Chain A
Amino acid sequence: MGMTATIEARGLRKHYGRTVAVDGLSFTVAPGQVTGFVGPNGAGKSTTMRMILGLDAPDEGTALVGGRQYRSLRTPLREVGALLDAAAIHPGRRARNHLLWMAHSNGLPAGRVDEVLEQVGLGSVARRRAGGFSLGMRQRLGIAGALLGDPPVLMFDEPVNGLDPEGIMWIRGLLRSLAAQGRAVFVSSHLMSELEDTADHLIVIGRGRLITDASVDKLIAAASGDRVDVRTSRRAEAMTVLANAGATVAAGDHEILTVNGLTGERIAALLTERGLPFSELRQHRASLEEAYMELTRDAVEFNVTSVRQAS
């Protein structure tokens, strides 16, 4: 890995017809961690990835991989491994041959093909035609292609799509281990929950614009706020008591209440006073999904406001 393992987007802009797909997007993907690239469908994730790979030409801005323009790379498989579309396989070609032509084009030895096939668990179906593969098998074949050149930078567009739970576990482990080896791993998803426990860093976009570029820890801390979770078997009464004391109370899973506006000590005192039994009084930790909802709600509100102003 001679080059620095980074992806840099600087002011990327791209439109198709009258639709602006990506609008002034800048971010950096750092080595040694999994960077999630999140946004709803149509937010511009795939377009951004295509521009990074030199497939689509940006209207403005540049994308650099390891400090270089992708199109100037002579053996790109050794520098960037990418899976854009698992369906992009000639159905009549055997899995091994699909990887073999890729290996030949970058001067990689045929032995690498067999190695990556084993690595993704397709060793036994290497000589089957890809047309008969399930979506999960195609994802694995696409990932094998990305790993062929042992590159320091990896990009996967929605790699979890179509995988069974076992496959999802496998891919999470793979992404973590690739990052642990010091590689920059850039993974897109339209579902924040898919990146839970996988991503270290998140780049969130909406309508082609950057919404957040922050570490997962920071995002969750921000979304958690000062809320407190409390478990009680008599939720209705507890809610009344706490609300009367000036708190905002939300019912969560099972017997959990999430309380905003009161400290843990005050909650314990109030419930004890009324003789309401409770256990597990702890600082609330937001899920990544919640953090995402928080972020996108802001974005939606912002949009509503701007529409009002315009009318």
Chain B
Amino acid sequence: MTTPSDNPAATTARDGFGQLLRAEWTKLRSVRSTAWCLILAAGLMLLISALGATGSTTDANEGPSRRVDVFHFVHQPLTGDGSVTAHVLTQQRTGPSARAGLMIKEGTEQGAPYVSIAVTPDRGVQMQANFESDIAGTASGAPVWLRLTRTGTSVTGYESADGATWREVGSVAVATLPPTAQVGLFVTSPSTALRIVRQGGNTETSSAFEPSTATFDSVSVAPMSPAPAAAWSDLDVGKPGPRTDGTPVVGSSTESGGIFTVTGAGDIGTLPPGGDNDIVRDSLTGVLIGMIAIVVLGVVFMTSEYAKGVIRTTFTVSPRRGRVLAAKAVVLGLVVFAVGLVTALAALVLTRPIQRRNGFEAPAYPDPSLADGLVLRAVIGTALFLAMLALFALGVGTILRRAAGAITLVIALVVVPSIIGVFLPLNAELWLNRTTPLAGLAMQQTRDRFDNAIGPWAGFGVLCAWAAVALGLAYWQLRRRDA
């Protein structure tokens, strides 16, 4: 039977890196500036996050419904039972859910009950009634034949590939449908882009619209009881939002030789409650200020040794300089990560009641849970960001050897972009947030937003690259420079 070596001293002395870690940890914990920097960082993070939460409100949960009813309608009255039929020839693809089809609606005012059947570029034929029910057809996209047939208060939708063989999509009862309803063609196109207006650091976002144009032929309205042929009229129901450049969208329609060309934008239906605020990221926003203290800590961990010449003692007792730098990096990284993690969790817990008070509550904004991988990534990512930023600062501090210059340089690279970014055009801000060490903050993203510059791990990778280059240069300098 063999026994393992019972000489623990032999294993610790073998390499000595553990001893170096202990030495650097002793250095770090034995000066007051460390505690001050960490307390300042945590305090600023919590304070700024709380202030941010206090100043941000939402009405995402207010109002009984968030109905939208905006489209271009080419219509005529239909009294009693009957049907309307059209052949959708073409549909411009402005987005996956642009719609071109038929509608029966109580009137032309916004919000009036209706039944519609329409074709979409990517989601096939859809039948919809009163902003709620959606019934999917089978046909894929234009060209397709569509028909709505009214029988009493019930409306049935049909689709057909050839106008001869019809397939029933579904049947919906609309209790309030009056004897005379408006029937006809409609086109709409939901927003797929944001209109962003920046002025003096203030960013406003709103939905932007691109109208879709569809062509129809073989349009017919067939009342069950004979009636005089009615004339078509058209209008925009509701007012579509502007394009991304701010110019207004106006729907239109023309008819020539039985072919109707209809253009419209907007959306019809009930939007799910919610906004696009990233409340987890908002809770952690204080890191933008708190990180300044972490930069100071990382820089000073090395430059304080140069200030009084302690570095000579360090390299006298540990002549292998690269290992000293590595030990410093490990100790600094672990300490900042631990403090960052606790602070990030505290910020989440602290800001949540403020957010709830300001309207960020379920159902639009349910409480974030650490069981949610994205939330967990944001919290751990915040700690990782701070730790890696500290290592970048350590590298710069080692290269420059003077605290003032190194802190100025790191802050110029990290903090300044975060401040001036909001005054720049969005593209310039996104570019800064992609390429500067600030990209590491992408780890805090839990939602897809227009101002997300880069993916979370890719952004962290950018920060890691900055830190790696700084530490690599620092290592090279340490080796060739006289101490």
Contacts and interface: CB of A to CB of B under 8 A. Distances in A.
Nearest to A70: B319
A105 B20 contact: yes
A100 B25 CA distance: 11
Max chain B CB contacts within 10 Å: which of A76, A84, A88? Answer: A88
Contacts of A77: 317
B22 interface: yes
Nearest to B19: A107
A92 B29 CA distance: 11
B12 A107 contact: yes
Range, interface on chain B: 20 to 34
B431 interface: no
Contacts of A125: none
A54 B313 contact: no
Contacts of A44: none
Interface in B16-31: 16, 19-20, 22-24, 26-27, 30-31
A56 B23 contact: no
Contacts of B30: 93-94, 97-98, 100-101
A293 interface: no
B13 A85 contact: no
Interface in B387-406: none
Contacts, number: 89
Contact of A55 (B19, B20, B316): B316
Nearest to A99: B26
Given A92-B31, A105-B23, A145 B313 contact: yes
Given A56-B483, A88-B308, A89-B308, A101 B315 contact: no
Given A97-B26, A101-B26, A73 B309 contact: no
A82 B312 CA distance: 10
A121 to B, nearest CB: 20
A274 interface: no
A57 B482 contact: yes
B33 interface: yes
Nearest to A85: B309
B318 interface: yes
B482 A90 contact: no
Interface in B259-305: 304-305
A240 B305 CA distance: 65
A101 B32 contact: no
Nearest to B34: A92
A71 interface: yes
B51 interface: no
B310 interface: yes
A292 B62 CA distance: 95
B318 A105 contact: yes
Contacts of A54: 315-316, 319
Contacts of B483: 50, 55-56
Interface string B307-327: 011101101111110000000
Given A76-B319, A93-B31, A104 B308 contact: no
Contact of B482 (A50, A74, A82, A105): A50
A70 B318 CA distance: 10
B482 A56 contact: yes
Given A50-B482, A88-B313, A93-B31, A100 B26 contact: yes
Contacts of A74: 16
A91 interface: yes
Interface in A103-159: 104-107, 145
Contacts of B316: 53-55, 76, 82, 84
A97 B310 CA distance: 13
Contacts of B12: 107
Interface string B19-54: 110111011001111000000000000000000000
Contacts of B308: 87-91
A53 B319 CA distance: 9
A243 interface: no
Interface in A28-83: 50, 53-57, 70-77, 82
B317 A105 contact: yes
Given A84-B312, A92-B31, A94-B30, A102 B482 contact: no
25 contacts: A50-B482, A55-B315, A55-B482, A55-B483, A70-B319, A75-B16, A76-B316, A77-B317, A84-B313, A88-B309, A88-B310, A88-B312, A88-B313, A91-B308, A92-B32, A93-B27, A93-B31, A97-B26, A100-B30, A101-B24, A101-B26, A101-B30, A104-B22, A104-B26, A107-B19
Given A101-B30, A105-B19, 18 more contacts: A50-B312, A50-B482, A53-B316, A57-B482, A73-B319, A87-B309, A88-B309, A88-B310, A89-B308, A90-B304, A91-B308, A92-B32, A92-B33, A101-B23, A101-B24, A101-B27, A106-B19, A106-B317
Interface of A: 50, 53-57, 70-77, 82, 84-85, 87-94, 97-98, 100-102, 104-107, 145
